[in-house]
Amino acid sequence: MYFPSIKTIGSKVKKISFGHNGYNRKCFTFLQFLCVALGLSIIVSSVAAKNSKSASTAHNRLDNAIIVTQLPLNGLKQYQQISTTKRQQESLVNWPLRLDIYEGARLVKVNPDLSVEILSNDFHSACDPEISFDASRILFAGKKTNADNWNIFEMGINGSDLRQITNGQFSCRSPGYQSTLYTIVSPKPWQQLTFVGLDDGFTNLYSCKLDGSEVRRLTYNLSNNMDPFLMYDGRLLFASLQQSSLYRGIIGSISLFGIGIDGTDYAAFSSKEGKRMKHMPCITTKGLVIFIESDRLRWDGAGNIGSVSIRRPLHSYRQITQESDGFFHSPSSLPDGKIFISRRSSNDRDTHGVYSLEPSTGQLELIFDSPDYHDIQTKVVCPRPEPDGRSSVVTEKDPNGKLYCMDVYLSDFDKPEWMPSGTVKRLRVLEGISTNDNHNIPSDYTPDSSESIESYLHKNSPPQQRILGEIDIAEDGSFNIEIPANTPIKLQTLDADGMALRSCDWIWARNHEPRGCIGCHEDGELTPENVLVKAVTNPSIKLTLPAKRRRTVDFRRDVMPIIEKKCIQCHDQSNTSLVLTTKILFSSFYSEKKTFSQMCYDSFLAVDIQTGDGKYIHPGSARISPLMWHIFGRNTSRPWDKTFSEQKVTQMPPEDKQALTEDEKRIFIEWIDMGALWDGIPGPDKLPKYPQNDGGGGK
């Protein structure tokens, strides 16, 4: 048995200041502390001689045993000493699971008498404990040797009856027990568990039965998904990394989402309030959602504490701690409404210790701290109610799902008149292609103020995309489509010119799922009117073309021929603002990938040094791209865009030159709206030494 060196047990109480209402309570709290401390010192000095034994042992017990993950300090020092260059080569694929820092980690049980038992002696590394509903078993992630993939294991609360659940096909982390699942034709409900798997370049949520069979992927959003937490209604709350974009900036964001335990009904759970990164969620017994938030990616994922109400998660954000309170990690709920949470100082000079926190008052009490380890992921060994069971309509016999919308004019605009009825003409549906190159942000990345999002998107291409199809919007703003199941889908509402007005993030529908939405970026807490919309009175429009027939638009195959035919004759002169050429060279941006580019492509993606915006195009938004203004002879921005203006724009090409056809204009629009990629999906062309293949058909 191992007995740690304990810094403080239950005797260090700190009141943290709250950030809401604009007041800083630190000074007042400090004065309170001085007064209380002075009074206590007088009392303690008079009583100490009579009752010294009770004073030293009053808090040296826990009400219940706890399970703790311990990260060895020596291993972390080696990780932190890795050269900056090497760490910058790591992508955000590794950051969500923080694979490297858990090498050598172990699980320990801290008993009520503070004795410590090591539960993972037979493992090279172990972490991510989860306690069963009856508090008799522990799920955890582990690897028995350094060469193994992470797998999911289960053992008794005392370390007995160890069994492996997943089979090592890919790294599996963050396991959790699910509530029961059933279908209308199943003879009885069955138990499952959730875990995070690193496969196909992304971390996604998976489920399987308790014996490891019937592994099913739950998330399909071209993102990194992590930190699943089972809510009291039986659904999953988790964090999802949202990619870089014009609107999220270079580093993107990590937001909270909800999902059914069968992968259905994916929906946003948190708003943009608070810091950019929100993850490690848990829900207290008093209905408060606690999470870790930060504006930068730290080595351990630590940050400040934020919260929202489970009843109104989109409109109840509250900051609980500030930078000066230290950095926090892995909250977990307790029966009395408090939480366990790990804390270290913001200067990184000490280790994480285990604290209890009362979210409503900010009272923080140190419970356990071993100085040779970071003590994190604390779970109390205590029975808890099993959440509600869930039913499922998912059946793999159906290769498709359905998606409908009640009214695309229901939105989050401050002024509804910005997009009056009739503005939206059509709907474009895009398919996202999974690649391993979509998240090349360093794990310790901090945005450089001199780098614009256009420049970053040029160097780090957005996901490859194909068009599943376009349909007309019904008169009442509704639509109803059938799409391939388990496929990343992006929806873009289009104006009369075919330019995207609003775009959603990557979503999906499971097999046979009838997925619906109320509007386009509408307030998710509002109940829609009880009306039968026109689109659902008709059969769903099928957008289920085979992969080889799905169209993509890129620069080298689609845009460049138009430039050669219509633009080069005027723009190959040095006295023009936009200099274009057919010269082929290794792009300065793409040299590491050995990919051919062209000077004119680099010219189109040039950045204005003063504003940081794109001079000619904004990848992902044709309507605010100056190139499109000149092609249409007017500013095509909308009232909600900062670029909106009624100032006249010079038409290009000029009237004495051959004009672009409607199809050629459409190609420019689609190219920009789909991310302005050099190479949408690699395929055959006449460029020297360029890889030749079938154009991505069948992917």
Q: How many C-beta atoms lie closer than 10 Å to residue 546's C-beta?
A: 9
Cis, peptide link before residue 313, omega less than 30° from 0: no
Q: Over the stretch 196-211, which tens digit does the pLDDT of each residue have?
A: 998 776 899 999 999 9
Query: Which domains, ranges and CATH numbers included, belong to the chain?
Result: 13-29+61-391 (2.120.10.30), 400-673 (no CATH)
pLDDT digits (tens, 9 = 90+) for 213-244: 999 999 998 888 999 999 999 999 999 987 65
**pLDDT attached to residue 654:** 82
The predicted structure's pLDDT at residue 253:
84
**Position of tokens 């320990």?**
108
Q: Assign 88 to helix, strand or coil.
A: helix
CB 271 within 8 A of CB 317: yes
Confidence of residue 351 (pLDDT cuts 50, 70, 90): very high
pLDDT digits (tens, 9 = 90+) for 22-69: 333 434 444 444 444 444 443 333 333 322 222 222 246 899 999 999
Question: What SS3 state is found at 265?
Answer: coil
Q: How confident is the model at residue 384 (pLDDT cuts 50, 70, 90)?
A: very high
Determine the Cα–Cα distance for residues 272 and 651; give it in Å rounded to an integer: 38
Q: With a cut of 60, say whether residue 1 has pLDDT above it.
A: no
* Confidence band, pLDDT 50/70/90 cuts, at residue 248: very low
CA dist 461 and 554 (Å) reads 12
Strand (E) positions, 397-503? 400-405, 426-433, 464-472, 479-484, 489-494, 500-503
Local confidence band at 314 (pLDDT 50, 70, 90 cut-offs): very high
DSSP assigned state of 254: E
Q: pLDDT value at position 95?
A: 53
Higher-confidence residue: 443 or 109?
109
653-673 pLDDT, tens per residue? Answer: 888 788 899 999 999 999 999
First to last CA, the chain: 55
User: Which residue, 333, 330, 307, 309, is CA-closest to 320?
Assistant: 307
Q: What residues contact 628, with CB distance under 8 A and at least 6 apart?
A: 499, 617, 622, 636, 668, 669, 672
Is the sign of the CA dihedral 286, 235, 183, 181 positive or negative?
Answer: negative
pLDDT of 419: 93
Measured distance CA(454)–CA(186) in Å, rounded: 51
pLDDT, tens digit, 9 for 90 and up, residues 673-685: 999 988 766 544 4
Answer whether 480's CB lies under 8 Å from 538's CB. yes
**SS3 (DSSP) at 678:** coil
Per-residue 3-state assignment (H helix, E strand, C coil) for 214-239: CCEECCCCCCEEEEEEECCCCCEEEE
pLDDT band (50, 70, 90) for residue 574:
low
Find out whether 309 and 290 touch, Cβ atoms under 8 Å: no
pTM value is: 0.84
Which pLDDT does position 571 carry in this prediction? 74
pLDDT tier for residue 122 given thresholds of 50, 70 and 90: very high
- Token pair, residue 200, equals 């196909």
- Which class for 181: exposed (0-12), middle (13-18), buried (19 or more C-beta within 10 A)? buried
Q: What is the pLDDT of residue 563?
A: 87
Q: Does residue 587 carry a pLDDT above 50?
A: no
Pairing of strands 202-209, 192-199: antiparallel
DSSP at 40: H
How far apart are alpha carbons 89 and 282 in whole angstroms? 31
Query: Distance between CA 176 and CA 193 in Å, rounded?
Result: 6
CA distance 177 to 194: 6
Q: Are 687 and 555 in contact (CB under 8 A)?
A: no
For residue 418, report the phi and psi dihedrals to the nearest 5 degrees.
Answer: -60, -30
- Rounded CA-CA distance 249/490 in Å is 19
User: Taking the CA atoms of the chain, what radius of gyration do you get in angstroms?
Assistant: 28
Confidence class of residue 595 from pLDDT cuts 50, 70 and 90?
A: very low
What type of residue is 482? E
